[in-house]
Structure formats: structure tokens, C-alpha cells
Amino acid sequence: MGYASTVKVPFGPQHPALKEPEHFLFEVDGDTVVGVTPRIGYVHRGIEKALELSTYGHGIYLAERICGICTIAHTCCYAQAVEELMGIDVPPRANYIRTIMSELERLHSHSLWVGLVAHEAGFDTLFMYAWRDREVILNLFQELTGGRVLHAINTLGGVRRDISPEMADKVRRALEHFEGRTKEYLRIVRTEPTFLRRTRDVGVLKPADAARLNAVGPTLRASGIKGDVRRDDPYVAYDEMPFNVITSDSCDVFGRTEVRTEEMMESIGIIRHALEHLPEGVFRVRAPRNVPAGECVSRVEAPRGEDMHYARSNGTAKPDRYKVRAPTLANIPALCKMLVGIHVADIPIILAGIDPCFSCMDRMVFVRSGGSTGRAR
């Protein structure tokens, strides 16, 4: 007969199904979600305020730390913005190296995600395989940049390290192995009946809703809309790279899996092309200390979608205003739409479906440094 009224169920900030602290208040009627209210901000570190208090040179270290997975996307976006304000041209070799690094980052982020969604679907074997194979990319990062997680490869005026011909060969060999594994994942996610049953028609986002709610990245593309900053508003060397913008018409978690896995194949192609056509010359130019007054909007396609930085300078060594909009925040309205009308049991897999990165999203408010962040309030 059902209940006379709905029940409110708090979910998070500390919850076994969430990998990062965030709070969602679900209104449920029996087993069906009828409403959801998100409350974000549990991992705020005040990065926007900190950027305004730091010099441009210092800012790149802060940008590196906005997110642990998309550090290259954020530093690339930051460096682009500041370089535009400074009026300096980055050498072509640096742009190619930035492209290679951005795509390696997409490979490691997407394989991390394939593992996570497999885990949420109860398919832990795939989770283990995906994370094992992801080590190949992390090891490459260590050799290329010196760091597995934070790479600090981008700097104002170019990149910090070159890619030698021997290193390029190592990357090619690693990609050959990784390509074989990715093909295997594509086969598994498309044919494994339990995975299909767990992801098909789960977390549906219709194309009209995806466009109206301004979703970004694979979440948008899995709803059949061809939106990709790399193609629409090319940056670094993407205008010289051959690649397809992958979309899926299934509009559900399965579509999001398919889009990300196929994107990994495209990324492998981009890296190979960039290594093959790597221009000769310097990989870094000197950046001035002070920046003339001005403003600019910089965008990159992070693994989770469009990332935007806005910078306003006032002629000093520190920005007057610096704004960061990470892709997860843009996907929150779409996520809330997906979560209404579903079964409570599907909440974790739908949340994982947008590949949320809450610390990327929560970046702008000052919370005490050390100790108290992420506490339930």
C-alpha cells in the first residue's frame, strides 16, 4: 500500500559508497528516490583565495593541487591563462608535450574510472585488472616527469622536462601493451551480461536534459551530444591531432562506460601521432614576473569534462581575481536529474557514473589548513 509520506535519507559526507566526502539528502518513497538535495563543500581548501594571495609563479603549484587526478588539466589551464595575459608564445614542442601528457592523464583517469564503475557494479575482477594495467601509465609518468600522481610537468612558458627519443620509444612500447588491454575492456563491457544488466537504463540522462542542464565531458557525450573542448575550442596542439569525438546514444551508465573506454583508444592514437610529429626546438621560454593588466578565459577538456579558469590581472605579480570551475560542479545539476526516479540501490553506480571528483569541485572556500576538512557538520 505504500507509506503516507516520503522519508528523508541523508547520504554522506562519510558513507561507504562514496570515495570522497559529499552530502546528498535523498527523499525516498519506499524504494524510489523522489528528490535529491546536494550539499557540497566538505573538501574546500580556499584555492581561489590562495591564488589571489600568491604570485603567478607560485600559483602553478596550487593549480597542480586542485585535483589529484587531473593535475595536468588544471596546470595546463592555469599556464594557458597566465601565458595569454603575459603575452608569451609557448614553443611548439612544449605544446606537443602538453598534449601527450594530457592524453596520458586521460588514459590513467579513465582506467581508474572503469575500475571504479566495475566495482560499483559488483564486478571486482575487472576492477582489479583495470587498476593493475593503470600502473603502466603511472610508471610512465614517473619516468617522464618524476612523479606518479603529481607531475609538475607544466610550467609558465612551456614544460619542465623534454621527451627524449629513448623515452618516446618506451612510451610507444607501453602503449602497445595498454592498447591490447583496452581492447579487452571494450570487449568485456560490451558483452559481459551481468555488467550490461547492471548498467543499461541505469542513470538515464536524455540528450535534451544534458544540453539544458549544461552537462560536460563524457557525461554529455554519453547522451549523444558531440561536445569536446579539444575539438570545439582547440588548445595546445589539438588542432593538429587526428581524433574522433566519441559519443553514445544509450544515455545511461553503460553509455558512459563505452564513451570512456573508446576515448582511451583515441587517446592512444593522439599520443602516437604527437610522438611521431614532435617538433624540434626548445621546450620552454622565460616567463616575466609581472603580468600586464588584462583578463582571459582559458578552457581545457579534463578527463571529466570541460575545465575553465578565468584570470584577471592588475599589472602586479599577483592576480586580482582567479576563478576555477572544475567539471564535476557543472555535472551536479545533471546528476540530480539522473538521481530522481531511480531505485535506492542504484545510487552508488549513478554517482560513480559522472566520475565525480569532489575535491576538484570544492576548491574555493577557506577551511582550516590541516585537521578539520571533511568533518561532518
Partner 1 sequence: MIDGAGTVKSMQERLGAEVMDARAPKPRRAFVRVSRGAFGKAVRHAVLDLGFSHLIAITAAEVGEEMEAMYHLACMGATVLTLSVRVPKGDAVLPDISEIMPSAAIYEREAQEMTGIRFEGLKDDSNLVLPKGWPSGVHPLRKDQTYEGLVKVKLDLEKG
Interface residue list for partner 1 (CB under 8 A): 37, 39-41, 44, 46, 48-49, 53, 211-214, 227-229, 232-233, 295-297, 299, 306, 308, 310, 312, 320-321, 323, 325, 329-330, 332-333, 362, 364-368, 372, 377
- For strands 305-313 and 32-39, give the pairing: unpaired
In the complex with partner 1, which residue's Cβ is closer, 138 or 365?
365
The least CB distance from residue 91 to partner 1, in Å, is 20
**Closer residue to partner 1 in complex, CB, 307/355:** 307
Q: How far is the CB of 113 from partner 1 (least distance, A)?
A: 22
Which is closer to partner 1, CB of 40 or CB of 153? 40
Nearest residue (CB) to partner 1, 67 versus 140 = 67
Characterize 11-42 residue by residue with b for buried, 16 or more Cβ atoms within 10 angstroms of its Cβ, and e for exposed.
bbbebeebebbbbbebbbeeeebeebebebbb
Q: Measured at the alpha carbon of residue 89, what is the angle toward residues 283 and 168, in degrees to the nearest 5?
A: 25
Burial of 167 (0-12, 13-18, 19+ CB in 10 A): middle
Helix, strand, coil proportions of the chain in percent (round to 5)? Answer: 50, 15, 35
Residue 226 and residue 249 in contact, taking contact as beta carbons nearer than 8 Å: no
Min separation Cβ 310 and partner 1, Å: 5
Give yes or no for a contact between 119 and 325, defined as CB atoms under 8 angstroms apart. Answer: no
> Nearest distance from residue 46's CB to partner 1, in Å?
7
- Pick the closer one to partner 1 by CB: 86 or 364: 364
Q: Phi first, then psi: what are they for 48, rounded to 5°?
A: -65, -45
CB of 279 to partner 1, least distance (A): 22
Identify the bridge partners of residue 158 per DSSP, sorted by sequence position. Answer: 155, 284
